[in-house]
Each structure stands twice: as C-alpha cells, then as structure tokens.
Structure 1
C-alpha cells in the first residue's frame, strides 16, 4: 500500500516572531533569587549580647560583694563578741509632790531626781553617746503627766565600764484634770505611782581606735513604782532602735 505524500514544511517569513515564545534580550540575565534562610541561621545582634554580658558581670560583682560583707560580719562578731549596752533605773526620788485644787482647776507641783545606770558589757568595744534628752512622767495609760525634760551632754563609756546619769526635773503649777490629780496623789502616798523615764540619744561604737557611725536609740523605762525601787529592784529598760527593733 502506498504512503501519502509528505506535506512540505512551510518556511517562516523573515522577521516573523512567535507570539508564544518568551522574549529574551540578548546579553541580559535575570538576577538570581536570594535564598531565604530559616530564623535559626540569622546572625544574632551584637547589642543584645553585650547587655547580657554586662548584666552577668554586674550580678557576679554584687554577689561577691555581698559574700564578702557576710564574711567580714561573721569575723567581726566572732572576734569582738559585741553586746548591746544595758540601761536600768537605779533610783527615783520625789522630793516634792503637791496637788492643789483651786477655783480655776487642779495644779501639780513636783520635783524629782532620777538616776539611770548605763553599762557597757563589752571587753573590746567602747560606746559613744551623743546629746541625750530624758523625759520624766508619772501615771499610765491616757493619764500620763509630764514632769519635765533634762538634756545630758555627750559622754563615752569604756570597755566593761558603768556610769550613772543624774536627771532632775521640776514641774510648777502644772494644770491637771481634777480626777487625775486626786488619783496621782493617792498613788503617790501608797508608793504605787507609775514612774516613766524615756531617753532619746545616738550611740556610736569605738573599735580598735576607730569610731563607727551613730545610730538613733530610744530607751524606755515605763511603769516603775517607788515600792519596786525601795525593795532593791532595778528594772531594766527597753531599747528601741531602727524604729522596729525592741531589745531588753
């Protein structure tokens, strides 16, 4: 069987452009596409690394400083064995106590002399005291009556030394409530009158010839009676320091 004759291939005319072909300019290559890296391959920022290193150094420095302070404090405590000073009311005398009722009110006249014993129990430390203001009052609760304030000048207390502070106060024509005045006079005669002494001062420490800063201290001796003192009792006072620490 004879094959059909082949169709002649048509020749494209000169200047013919195939519309389906992509035009590529001679000598031009498209720019290569930039490869997208995963986040784990991105370079870390130098600024963040520097801040982290600085924070670590800062924390290490303060940790070492805190550790040194603890070690120095422990050595100081073991070597010097520091003890707080002690305060006692040694004696309290009322040389005059008159309650007078007048038409315009009740008046109190009182003269007192108190002695406060201050002791330094340390064998390697000296205590320094600034100006000390001592308030004396009588009564308790809401019926306290001020009898006066005395200022004691600076003084120091050597190793294992004891001193006595003399505090004299005087109240003249002090107006009091009628019922309070009568109650104070009754308790004075029975020697059950509450006596209150409060001292405000600053205390510093001397160690090996060096004087270490002053700390505010308030000493309170409340509710003492003449009957206690006449019986030989020397009530110990309470030391308040740093506004929250109470020490007997």
Structure 2
C-alpha cells in the first residue's frame, strides 16, 4: 500500500502576484463640429439653388424673346383694319315724358373688317357695338357672336341698333332734333371684342381690344365717307 505524495510547501516570504487583465482602450468620440459649420454649408446650398434658378429663368426669357422675334420676322402679323361703312336710321323720335325728353331710335350700321395677314386666320370673340351721339346720348347697342375670318379676307358686320326711352338733357333736345334733320349729328360707334391668331395646327388666345371710330356726321357718312377706326389694344 503506497502512501500519498506530500504537497509542495511555499517558501517563507512568498506571495501570489495578481494577474492583471488587459482592457481594450475606450473608443474615441468624434469631435463635435460647431453649429456655424452646418449653417455655412446650408447657406452655400441655398445660394447655389438660387443661382441655378435665376440662370434658368434668364435663359427661358431669352428663349421666349427669340421665338417671338422669329415669329414676328417670319410671319409679320398685323392687326385688322376696321372701317365704318354706313349708318341708316329707320326710326328717330324725340318725345316728352314725365322724366323729360326721351329718344326712341333704330338704325342699321355696317362695319368692314379686313384681315391683312396672309399666313393665318383671325378669331374674334363676341363683338359688342355701342353707338353714341356727339352730345353723349346712347343711341343703342347690339352684340354679335364670335367668328373666324379667313386669310387676307374682308368681312362686313351688320348691326341693328335700338334705343328705347333714352333720356336727353332738356337743353340738348332741340339741338339733337335739328342735328338729325340737318344731317350734322355727330355719331361715334365703339366696338369691343377679342382677337386672336389661328394657324393650321395652332391658335393663340384672344386679347381684348376696343375699336373706336372717329366722330363723323351723318352727312359725311351718307356721302360715302368711310372713316378708318382706331384699335385700342391693351390700353395702348
């Protein structure tokens, strides 16, 4: 029977050395950027966007101007030419009413419109005719439907104008009657419509215009005078 081995004895003064476990170094935190850095970057981005937008707008405007200049030089668009042809009164009666002198009148009026353009047609909106006398009295009005005018074409618009119980100033009533009898009554037709251009596969929108015919006497008109009317486009 064998005896167990005796464990080794530690010499006097011996002590255990503790084992140190190495820890991984702590991760470094990224240095925080100052707020001014982000503000400057945002300003630069906004500035770049504004510059690109402005350049795009300038180029677009230049392109539109160039296209309009080419269109005008190539097609040479012209406004219509308008003449007052005839005015004939079929009724003209001044009567006394409780409110004062009043006018009942009816007239037929012809206006000639010429399209001088050879490359495109002209479109007209509803056409409203108002006939005024030289003293400001309203001799009636009428509205005709819109229409399309062919290239290099002449069209005559026929209006039937009526005035019913149109009050007159007492001091002007006698002058008004005498002016009609002597054919020196001044009349001023005014036309309000919209005009636009029309090609084979395209057309523009209409622009509002006023056509103002120069004041003419009945005698001048009956003697075949055909005054040219003035076109007022966009308050010009």
TM-score range, shorter chain: 0.7 to 0.9
Q: Would the alpha carbon gap of residues 151 and 102 (structure 1) be closer, same or farther in structure 2, given more than 3 Å must change?
A: closer
- What TM-score, normalized to structure 1? 0.74
Deviation at 1:55, TM superposition (A): 1.8
1:210 aligns with 2:205: no
Q: Does 1:195 align with 2:187?
A: yes
Q: Secondary structure at the match of 2:54?
A: helix
- Report the 3-state secondary structure (helix = DSSP H, G, I; strand = E; otherwise coil) of the residue aligned with 2:205: strand
Tell me which moved more, 177-186 or 167-176: 167-176
Q: Distance in 2 between matches of 1:205 and 1:104?
A: 48
The match for 1:64 is 59
Contact 2:124 2:195 in 1 (8 A): yes
Asked whether the equivalents of residues 139 and 162 of structure 2 are also in contact (C-alpha less than 8 Å), the reply is yes
Residue of structure 2 aligned with 1:158, choices 126, 138, 150: 150
Q: Which string of whole-angstrom CA distances, capped at 9 and with x for unpartnered residues, describes residues 170-194 of structure 1?
A: 2234332222111111111222211
Q: Secondary structure at the match of 1:68?
A: helix
Equivalent residue for 1:138, pick from 122, 133, 144: 133
> CA separation of 1:164/1:46 partners in 2, compared to 1, >3 Å: closer, same or farther?
same
Aligned to 1:128: 123
Paired residues of 1:108 and 1:181 also in contact (CA < 8 A): no
| 5+ residue gaps, structure 1 | 1-41
Which position in structure 1 is the counterpart of 2:177? 185
Instruction: Kindly report the root-mean-square deviation, in angstroms, between the aligned alpha carbons of the 2 structures.
Output: 2.0
Q: Distance in 2 between matches of 1:132 and 1:178?
A: 33
Greater shift in the superposed pair: 44-53 or 193-202: 44-53
Structure 2 stretches lacking a partner, 5+ long = 1-36
State the 1:43 CA deviation.
Answer: 10
Q: In the alignment, what sits opposite 2:70?
A: 75
TM-score (norm: length of structure 2): 0.78
Q: Is the 8 A contact 1:157 1:163 kept in 2?
A: yes
* Structure-2 separation of matches of 1:108 and 1:182: 12
Residue matched to 1:17: none
Structure 2: distance between partners of 1:185 and 1:43: 85
CA distance in 2, matches of 1:65, 1:219: 34
Answer yes or no: is 1:115 the counterpart of 2:107.
no
Q: Which residue of 1 aligns with 2:5?
A: none
237 and 103 in structure 1: CA distance in 2 versus 1, 3 angstrom threshold: same
Q: Distance in 2 between matches of 1:48 and 1:87?
A: 59
When residues 106 and 64 of structure 1 are mapped into structure 2, their CA distance, relative to the original with a 3 A threshold, is same
Task: Give the number of aligned pairs.
Answer: 200
Alignment counterpart, residue 86 of structure 1, candidates 78, 81, 87:
81
Q: 1:89 to 1:52 in 2, by over 3 A?
A: same
In the TM superposition, what is the alpha-carbon distance from 1:161 to its structure 2 partner? Answer: 0.4
- Asked if the contact 1:99–1:182 (Cα under 8 Å) also holds between the matched residues in 2, the reply is no
